[in-house]
Structure 1
Amino acid sequence: MSADTPATGRDHPGERAAADPIRLIALRDTALSVDEVFAAVGDAAAGGTALFVGTVRSHDGGADVEGLGYSAHPSAEAEIRRIAEKVVADYPVRALAAVHRVGDLAIGDLAVVVAVSCPHRGEAFEACRRLIDDLKHQVPIWKHQTFTDGAEEWVGV
């Protein structure tokens, strides 16, 4: 291959994970920004970016939700980073970001925003799915829901 012929195949550096792909990990008690998370995972070598946005919905388990609050253990941010490190170890991640809200939220508020960029779309979808699923199952963040009928419940405790 000559100096002016572009590299092809999986041996190109852009096909591999970036050296430091974890760009943003945070817990916030203020409104989340999809634009901030999307900008954090921008990478010229990424052909696919998958973004997941979790919002507060108006119902749960057949009951109408009035609002909710998220509480987090002091280790929660470190746990999100640990999960992110596992994702970047298993996928060719170019960039990754995950932000979760804590405090009181209203219907329609953003509760979590995660994004992953990879060389190809399939890898990005898989890595993003793994990131949000593991975050929801393993990070010590608890949801306290209040319902329009006055009932309340803790989820994830």
Structure 2
Amino acid sequence: MASMNDHPGERAAADPVKLIGVRETPLSVDEVFRAVGDDAAGGTVLFVGTVRDHDGGSSVDRLGYSCHPSAEAELRRVAEKVAANHPVRALAAVHRVGDLEIGDLAVVVAVSCPHRAEAFAACRALIDDLKREVPIWKHQTFSDGTEEWVGAC
């Protein structure tokens, strides 16, 4: 039952997790943004992670992402946890796997909440928890021929 201090538009959405995906195809910012549209949301925050041409002072030539078969289920679990801990109206997260080029979109996440501060906090939690908990690994090949795995146990 809602308390007298609740505002109808600030109650959590029944199923705020609108889009979850781990895919080999290019990602769409527009798709993720549309997925979190909600008339009761006053703030929407979107984060886009792109493949950069350097890391740790070294030039990156190639990059690939691989994942455990449970990655999408783990991404959903992380998203549901964020939605349970923040006043999320809608949430979406997609991560790319496979070989990517410099400038490609690697991850797109978005959150809509009643207010902007809540949306920023929820989006930050979503991307941080995704990077920490979802079994997706990055393999980088540097210009000098060395390689590095990031996120692998």
TM-score bracket, normalised by the shorter chain, equals over 0.9
Look up the match of 1:26: 21
Look up the match of 1:43: 38
Look up the match of 2:118: 123
Look up the match of 1:132: 127
Q: Which has the larger radius of gyration?
A: 1
Quote the offset at 1:10 in angstroms: 4.7
Query: How many residues align structurally?
Result: 149
Q: In structure 2, how many angstroms separate the alpha carbons of the residues matched to 1:31 and 1:122? A: 30
RMSD: 1.0
1:147 to 126, 138, 142: 142
TM-score, L = length of structure 2: 0.95
Quote the offset at 1:53 in angstroms: 0.3
* Long gaps (5+) in structure 2: none
Aligned residue identity for 1:39: R
2:91 to 80, 96, 104: 96
Structure 1's 10 and 127: CA in aligned 2 closer, same or farther, altered over 3 A?
farther
TM-score, L = length of structure 1: 0.93
Aligned residue identity for 2:117: G
Identical positions, percent? 79
SS of equivalent to 2:93: strand
Structure 1's 61 and 50: CA in aligned 2 closer, same or farther, altered over 3 A?
same
Runs of 4+ in 1 over 2 A off after TM superposition: none
For 1:4-48, what per-residue CA distance to the aligned partner results, in whole angstroms no more than 9, with x for missing partners? xxxxx8512211210111000000101100000000000000000
Structure 1's 77 and 10: CA in aligned 2 closer, same or farther, altered over 3 A?
farther
Aligned residue identity for 1:147: F
Q: In structure 1, how many angstroms separate the alpha carbons of the residues matched to 2:39 and 2:18? A: 15
Q: In structure 2, how many angstroms separate the alpha carbons of the residues matched to 1:12 and 1:80? A: 30
Q: In structure 1, how many angstroms separate the alpha carbons of the residues matched to 2:110 and 2:83? A: 12
